[in-house]
Structure 1
Amino acid sequence: MNKIRLEEVIESGDLKEAVKIIEDVGEKLDHTFTPILLRYLVTTDSVLLRNVIAITLADLGDSEAVLPLIDLLKNPKTKGNRGTLLYALEFFDVSTYVVMLVDLLDDTFEASRQSYQLISTVQDKISEAQKDICRQMIRRKLTDHKNKYKRDFLLESLELFT
């Protein structure tokens, strides 16, 4: 596989071909593409391309992907399109980012459920201090009027930190 070819098709906007190449990278577990994938993960405005790259990085298992994925979750440009990014994080230890994940519990339906899933997989690795912060955050979310329809889910989420 040719890294230059991947860059060419991405830059030309040929998303169909880019997706094909990126999926092939994931199937062959070609770690030499990691730097290119990381670069386009954070720079692309294409939701499709970003999602395919995120899944491929998860398949590759390169922990270098964790921080860029976390940063993207905080980026307003990913609002409404965070589910796949969160899914990709399931392949990594995200216990140090649990507070940020709690912040997404009142995001879109998919993002909130993916966050819950991620939190539940690392809850045994979370310190008491982190649990305290997370409980406080969820309690604040419970008092926010915009979350009135998410109350049951937030109460269930609170139980992860008891």
Structure 2
Amino acid sequence: MCEVQALIRDLASSDASIRNRSALTLMDLGDERAVEPLFRAITKPENINHRGTLVYALSAFNCEAFMEVLVDIVLTGSFEVSITAFSIIADSITSPESLIQMQAQLLKFDKNMLSADHHHEAYQELLELAASVSGEYEQ
């Protein structure tokens, strides 16, 4: 129990290697208490260029409750971060509610404000994912 709390504290470190080591250990432990602190670390402005491992660590967890943040990460992150977050979204759409959350977040984005080519492609891929998953829930 104390180990998890110490690892969660380390996610706030200013040292990327400490954050990354902590995130990977939390991923291996699979303790759900790590999800929210991982998202906090990922969304800190000072970590924007150092969050690939943090996002990867989320792949071990159910992130359905953070669908809006994941969509933001896909549409604003580096290529690696975008791809990883997209994969997490695909695994996290486990209910009509999570699909609706994803679609609502997509509607908030102005496609013209997407900065990189991979963001435009990711936007299109999210739309296609939403359409395919939507069909599953209609049946």
- Aligned equivalents of 2:20 and 2:118: distance in 1? 29
> Relative to structure 1, is the Cα distance of residues 134 and 161 closer, same or farther in structure 2, using a 3 angstrom cutoff?
farther
- Aligned equivalents of 2:120 and 2:114: distance in 1? 10
> Relative to structure 1, is the Cα distance of residues 71 and 126 closer, same or farther in structure 2, using a 3 angstrom cutoff?
farther
Q: Please report how far the alpha carbon of residue 145 of structure 1 lies from its aligned counterpart in structure 2 after TM superposition.
A: 5.6
**Higher relative contact order, structure no. (Cα contacts within 8 Å, ≥ 6 residues apart):** 2
More helix by share: 1
Whether 1:114 aligns to 2:97 is no
> Relative to structure 1, is the Cα distance of residues 34 and 120 closer, same or farther in structure 2, using a 3 angstrom cutoff?
same
User: Which has the higher mean CA deviation after the structures are superposed, 145-154 or 81-90?
Assistant: 145-154
Q: Please report how far the alpha carbon of residue 149 of structure 1 lies from its aligned counterpart in structure 2 after TM superposition.
A: 5.6
Query: 2:102 maps to which residue?
Result: 131
Identity %: 29
Is the CA contact 2:64–2:92 (under 8 Å) kept in the aligned structure 1? Answer: yes
Secondary structure at 2:8's aligned position in 1? Answer: helix
Whether 1:35 aligns to 2:5 is yes
Gap regions ≥5 residues in structure 1: 1-30
Secondary structure at 1:38's aligned position in 2? Answer: helix
Whether 1:68 aligns to 2:68 is no
Q: Please report how far the alpha carbon of residue 126 of structure 1 lies from its aligned counterpart in structure 2 after TM superposition.
A: 5.0
Q: Which runs of 4+ in 1 moved over 6 A?
A: none
Is the CA contact 2:38–2:54 (under 8 Å) kept in the aligned structure 1? Answer: yes
Give the TM-score taking structure 1 as reference length: 0.72
Gap regions ≥5 residues in structure 2: 132-139
> Relative to structure 1, is the Cα distance of residues 143 and 50 closer, same or farther in structure 2, using a 3 angstrom cutoff?
same
Q: After superposition, what is the alpha-carbon deviation per residue over 1:74-129, rounded to whole angstroms, capped at 9, x for unaligned? A: 10111111111111111111001011010011211111111101101112335153
- Aligned equivalents of 2:128 and 2:31: distance in 1? 31
Q: After superposition, what is the alpha-carbon deviation per residue over 1:1-41, rounded to whole angstroms, capped at 9, x for unaligned? A: xxxxxxxxxxxxxxxxxxxxxxxxxxxxxx54111111122
- Aligned equivalents of 1:91 and 1:33: distance in 2? 18
1:93 pairs with one of 62, 65, 72:
62
How many matched pairs? 129
Is the CA contact 1:82–1:111 (under 8 Å) kept in the aligned structure 2? Answer: yes
Give the superposed CA RMSD.
Answer: 1.8
- Aligned equivalents of 1:58 and 1:145: distance in 2? 30
Structure showing greater Rg? 1
- Aligned equivalents of 1:160 and 1:149: distance in 2? 16
Is the CA contact 2:114–2:120 (under 8 Å) kept in the aligned structure 1? Answer: no
